[in-house]
Chains A and B, each alone.
Chain A
Amino acid sequence: EAQVTQNPRYLITVTGKKLTVTCSQNMNHEYMSWYRQDPGLGLRQIYYSMNVEVTDKGDVPEGYKVSRKEKRNFPLILESPSPNQTSLYFCASSPSSGGPTDTQYFGPGTRLTVL
């Protein structure tokens, strides 16, 4: 089944404890992206990747890192999480190498709470 998976789905952590949220897609998509969803703010793009080893900042990259060593995986790293990173996170992928102009397929979301 074609899908985007994220792990973990729920995570409660404490300030400063490094964490990684994994994202994997099995559709051979080139474009991958991370979003955070907050009440009243909609979805905001954190980072995106056009292809392996090609990543770039979205609108809210502060406090996050990403890497794209393999086409299928695009982990989101929080080196020192803070309470303002408490949010619902979505990973997405789309087949277009020309950018995010194609339909995006979203993962199920990861609800992160930073105490």
Chain B
Amino acid sequence: AQKVTQAQTEISVVEKEDVTLDCVYETRDTTYYLFWYKQPPSGELVFLIRRNSFDEQNEISGRYSWNFQKSTSSFNFTITASQVVDSAVYFCALSELGGYQKVTFGIGTKLQVIP
């Protein structure tokens, strides 16, 4: 069974600090996909990144970066120089290629960036 753990339920940082959101996953499949979604206070869900299990390259997009490590089953998300607009709930998700065609989300990490 697939499982996603986001151990940090709430994080508060002061603006311009860096912050890392942790995501640990469990899967028996060798081919799977990992995602991060953002849910700002307005409530919509916004896609941030998708990564497949064969691509362990870290990715950087502006102030956002992702560290994928299969050895520790982690897919962590770092925001550099955080801004108030980064305040949101962030969800990590896992989808396996084989087996059931389901998507499993973590419970989310609520990030508050204080000005």
Per-residue A-contact encoding for B77-108, CB less than 8 Å = 1, 0 else:
00000000000000101011100111111111
Is there an interface contact between B50 and A44, defined as CB atoms closer than 8 Å? no
Is there an interface contact between B101 and A48, defined as CB atoms closer than 8 Å? yes
Residues in B whose Cβ lies below 8 Å from that of A90: 45
Residue of B nearest to A102 (CB): B50
With contacts A42-B91, A42-B108, A43-B91 taken as known, whether A100 is within 8 angstroms of B102 at the C-beta atoms is yes
A87: interface (CB < 8 Å)? no
Residues in B whose Cβ lies below 8 Å from that of A42: 6, 91, 105-108
With contacts A43-B91, A43-B105 taken as known, whether A101 is within 8 angstroms of B97 at the C-beta atoms is yes
Q: Would you give 21 A-B contacts (Cβ < 8 Å), ordered by A?
A: A31-B101, A40-B9, A41-B107, A42-B6, A44-B105, A45-B105, A50-B101, A56-B101, A58-B102, A88-B43, A90-B45, A100-B95, A100-B101, A100-B102, A100-B103, A101-B32, A101-B33, A101-B95, A102-B50, A103-B47, A105-B47
Residue of A nearest to B48 (CB): A103
A20, B108: Cα distance in complex, Å = 27
Is there an interface contact between B101 and A109, defined as CB atoms closer than 8 Å? no
Using a Cβ–Cβ cut-off of 8 Å, how many residues does chain B contribute to the interface with A?
A: 26
Per-residue A-contact encoding for B7-47, CB less than 8 Å = 1, 0 else:
00100000000000000000000001101010000011101
Residues in A whose Cβ lies below 8 Å from that of B107: 40-42
Interface on A for B, CB 8 Å cutoff? 31, 33, 35, 40-45, 48, 50, 56, 58-59, 88, 90, 92, 98-106, 108-109
Residues in A whose Cβ lies below 8 Å from that of B50: 102-103
Interface on B for A, CB 8 Å cutoff? 6, 9, 32-33, 35, 37, 43-45, 47, 50, 52, 91, 93, 95-97, 100-108
Residues in B whose Cβ lies below 8 Å from that of A98: 97
Residues in A whose Cβ lies below 8 Å from that of B104: 45, 59
Q: How far is the CB of B61 from chain A (nearest CB, A)?
A: 14
Residues in A whose Cβ lies below 8 Å from that of B44: 106, 108-109
Residues in B whose Cβ lies below 8 Å from that of A35: 105
| Extra inter-chain contacts (10) besides given A99-B95, A104-B103, CB under 8 Å | A35-B105, A40-B9, A42-B107, A43-B105, A92-B45, A99-B97, A100-B101, A101-B32, A104-B35, A106-B44
